[in-house]
Amino acid sequence: MDNFCEALKKLKLTAAESTEDSLEGCLDCLLKALAHNNAEASEKIQENGLLQVFPGLLAPQSSCTPKVANIIAEVAKNESMRSPCVEAGLIPPLVQLLNCKDQEVLLQTGRALGNICYDSHEGRSAVDRAGGAQIIADHIRSLSQNTDPANQKLLTVFCGMLMNYSNDNDSLQAQLINMGVIPTLVKLLGVHFQNTPLTEMCLIAFGNLAELESSKEQFASTNIAEELVKLFRKQTEHEKKEMVFEVLAPLAENDMIKLQLVDAGLVECLLDVVGHTVDGDKEEDIAELKTASDLMVLLLLGDESMQKLFDEGKGSVFQRVLSWVPSHNHQLQLAGALAIANFARNDGNCIHMVDTGIVQKLLDLLDRHVEDGNVTVQHAALSALRNLAIPVVNKAKLLSAGVSEEVLKFLKSEMPPVQFKLLGTLRMLIDAQAEAAEQLGKNVQLVARLVEWCEAKDHAGVMGESNRLLSALIRHSKSKDVVRTVIQSGGVKHLATMATSEHMIMQNEALVALGLIAALDLGMAEKDLERATLVQVLHKLLSDERSAPEIKYNSMILICTVLGSEPLHKEVQGLMFLDVVSKLRSHENKTVAQQASLTEQRLTVQS
């Protein structure tokens, strides 16, 4: 320690006049002290004002320069030293050194700048102002083909510097993307894929940049998919696979890259991972299985990549994924159900899957999760069934397979995501299926639950779907029994509220359902319609210029229907409907204009 203190004093006093030989001894002493106790030695260096001395020692032609840069790199490993390094004016001379040809100077300078930038806003800003990132990006580009070990070490340091410079900083990441760093790094990965430290540094840099949406286009114009799949195949250790996974996940959000990854053979790699880890109970097996199956589902979110893997239902990948559904493993069950939901994004695929018996697999899966089941699996299986129920030709097949009975088992669920999918599935199933709509609409337990969920203000999705299903049961069944069940369960007020929705489709569905209620059992619904202030709602809809033509049309139909009720008729008279309706006779929509004339006649006759 005495030698160290002596070196500090000597360096401070004689830095300007000293010969390079005498300086070398002092610098070696500092490096030795830093290696022994970095934090303590760094503090002493700062306390003795040596940080302010270093800029003068960073001369490109001096043999001491690499050691000075090395000392700065070591000092900057301490978080508390990064701002003092910036304040001491070290960044401009360090950036200047990036223009020299000496490899050791470049290496130590890259380390020093990288360490100063690590998690330091001041460090990054100073390097940005000095233009350091561009010089390093140019170096990486010009050195990218050189596979000499010393050059690979330098490239690793430079990549690390750019990573520290831009980590978690969108504007600096965007700057690097604009400099064209992405194609250069992808090239590095291809040329140096045998060099573990350099490929790992590239992966971390990709992970940073891939989060930015603007990077995806640049990545898509390179052969990144091919390189990552080649690298992934090479990995045997869990940590190394995870590193590649962490880059693949954000990149696979881009549809073009999804297709490139499928073409590069990623899916086969993922299926291998699943095969090797499905029966494993080690933590890393469970993690790899989850990541691989999640990534598989993500690849299926792209229309082209999904269709390629479906391959008219003959694709080997499609067949393998189907085998996940009856698996004993919850993660695979989930991924299998989500994959089916993704394959079921067009009518052709849906029809093929229903014809090949996929529905029974999903029903069996749901049945295993009725009592205290896995909520994510329930949600995924219901999503798949909902999508499969969309094509008209599938509805009767799903109904005869017992889908509605299975779905009703989840009525007692208290989980909003499950409730939401359950409602959507039933609504799809009964579309234009009068018999099924009547059967479900007379189910008192179901209708009571719908009325309860119509008040789920904390869950707008559940509330909206409950209203829509309530309306659908009436509209598709056109049954007096269903109407009575809805009235007795207290559903009328919710349909009246639904008529004021900001979504036109929901307004219209509500008006048609209310029209059927009024037409099929006005006497029983009368008091509920009064309490729900339906007449005022209709007056508002007809007066509002923003109301769509079909809303105005169905509102007038409903007005004519409720005139059969004495109290509702009085309300209509009291609100001067004639004025509003007569104006609509000149409406640009002919259907609205015609209905306005008819409604005006009815109002005049019955006034």
Burial letters for 201-229: b for 16+ Cβ neighbours within 10 Å, e otherwise?
bbbbbbbbbbebeebbebbbebebbbbbb
The whole-model pTM stands at 0.83
Instruction: Supply the DSSP string of 257-315, one letter for each residue.
Output: HHHHHHHTTHHHHHHHHHHHHTT--SHHHHHHHHHHHHHHHHHTTSHHHHHHHHGGGT-
Confidence check: pLDDT of 17 > 70? no
pLDDT in tens, 509-535: 999 999 999 999 999 999 999 999 999
pLDDT in tens, 292-334: 999 999 999 999 999 999 988 888 889 899 999 999 999 999 9
- Confidence at 15, pLDDT banded by 50, 70, 90: low
CA triple 131-135-136, angle to 5 deg: 115
pLDDT averaged over the chain?
Answer: 92
Whole-angstrom Cα distance, residue 23 to residue 431? 87
Q: Which residues contact 371 (CB under 8 A, 6 or more apart)?
A: none
Q: What is the pLDDT of residue 4?
A: 59
Confidence check: pLDDT of 145 > 70? yes
For range 373-397, the mean pLDDT: 95
Confidence check: pLDDT of 368 > 60? yes
Q: What is the pLDDT of residue 404?
A: 95
Confidence check: pLDDT of 212 > 90? no
Q: Out of 30-34, 115-119, 487-491, pick the least confident.
A: 30-34
Whole-angstrom Cα distance, residue 412 to residue 380? 18
More confident residue, 18 or 457: 457
Percentage of the residues of the chain whose pLDDT score is greater than 70: 96
pLDDT in tens, 83-106: 999 999 999 999 999 999 899 999
Percentage of the residues of the chain whose pLDDT score is greater than 90: 77
Q: Would you give the DSSP letter of residue 584?
A: G
Confidence check: pLDDT of 408 > 80? yes
Whole-angstrom Cα distance, residue 558 to residue 551? 11
For range 558-567, the mean pLDDT: 93
For range 536-549, the mean pLDDT: 93
The token duo for 557 is: 């139909």
CA triple 388-292-315, angle to 5 deg: 50
Confidence check: pLDDT of 183 > 60? yes
